[in-house]
Structure 1
Amino acid sequence: HIAAYGPDNHLRLTGLHETQSIDKFNYGVANRGASIRIPHSFVAGDAYRGYLEDRRPNSQADPYKILARLLKTISEVKA
């Protein structure tokens, strides 16, 4: 995934300053240091609603390439 998330992410995703290291993946509710942040409002009992925040892409990334990569991964997992 990281290749689709824009250039020079190795300079930004260091594991410091509320980022996860470029070579690791994690997720968590309200965890600003996670790769994928799940807001409190997303989890409501047995129901899920809202959004997920992928904190890895940088501002130069192509959102269509990111979405394509995420959808490909999801389809591979569901298969």
Structure 2
Amino acid sequence: LGKRHQYHIRAYDPKGGLDNARRLTGHHETSNINEFSAGVANRGASIRIPRSVGQEMKGYFEDRRPSANCDPYAVTEALIRTCLLNEDGDEPVKY
């Protein structure tokens, strides 16, 4: 996910990242829009791994980057392309 951070920022926001730029400031338990981070029980990280998942080494992660007005299908597509299909690069897919 870190290698495609900018791709995900654009995919998670219908305005290509403009709404997320106002929200993801790095303050008030948000990550910085320009930096990818992940951590166990870290509410300020881009990807938060619950404490129980960190202890058991299995479970789910929470991507905290999608904006409130995101298209859930676009978010799901981006996650599948990155996590399951191992696609790389920061350019969106052209249909």
Q: TM-score range by the shorter chain?
A: 0.7 to 0.9
Q: Unmatched 5+ residue regions in structure 1?
A: none
Aligned length: 75
1:48 correspondence with 2:58: yes
Q: Quick one: percent identity of the two aligned structures?
A: 52
TM-score by length of 2: 0.71
- One-letter amino acid matched to 1:67: T
Match of 1:64 among 69, 73, 76: 73
Distance in structure 1 (CA, Å) of the matches to 2:21 and 2:31: 11
Match of 2:86, SS state, is helix
Q: Unmatched 5+ residue regions in structure 2?
A: 1-7, 88-95
**What is the match of residue 76 of structure 1?**
86
Deviation at 1:52, TM superposition (A): 1.0
**What is the match of residue 12 of structure 1?**
23
Deviation at 1:64, TM superposition (A): 1.1
Deviation at 1:3, TM superposition (A): 0.9
- One-letter amino acid matched to 2:9: I
Distance in structure 2 (CA, Å) of the matches to 1:53 and 1:30: 10
Distance in structure 2 (CA, Å) of the matches to 1:3 and 1:36: 16
Tell me how large the CA RMSD over aligned residues is. Answer: 1.4
